[in-house]
Amino acid sequence: MASIIVGTLVITACGLIMTNIKADAEKRQLSNIAEYVATKSMEVLSNHPGENFSLTVPLVIPPLIGNQRYWIKIQNDSSNAWIEAGFGSIFATSNKLSYIPSDVTASGACLSDSGNPAIKYQLNSTGSYLTLYGGN
């Protein structure tokens, strides 16, 4: 009887460890995706020929992490622009931030499985704009 209890405890402990390892890997992948979107944003911002310029860059991101949906949004305040990402289908505030060191007006969001996510960059006489969107 004692060996059954010990065996059950060992199996349960291994299951919990595997669940934690999987959750940590999924959180890291979400952070990597936020960093990827920030990097793509910086590439777009740094490669423009001049005023009155527009460019749309597709994002290559997985539709799910594990079997979870996730969201990405881009925004700015008076001093920074950043990418946020989180799990689920409701856009919220997240601690998964990747900053874009540029003076740009940024907005938009997409769900991971909404199809064809992209960043649109526009530069004109009124300013520099980044828009994140997804959808068919």
pTM flag (> 0.75): yes
The residue with greater pLDDT, 61 or 5, is: 61
Q: What is the pLDDT of residues 76-92, one digit of tens each?
A: 988 889 999 999 888 87
pLDDT at 93 over 80: no
Tell me the C-alpha distance between 97 and 103, whole Å.
17
Per the structure, the count of domains in the chain is 1
User: What distances in angstroms separate CA 38 from CA 7, 21, 32, 33, one per listed residue?
Assistant: 47, 26, 10, 9
Q: Which domain holds residue 124?
A: 2-133
Q: What is the pLDDT of residues 47-60, one digit of tens each?
A: 777 778 888 999 99
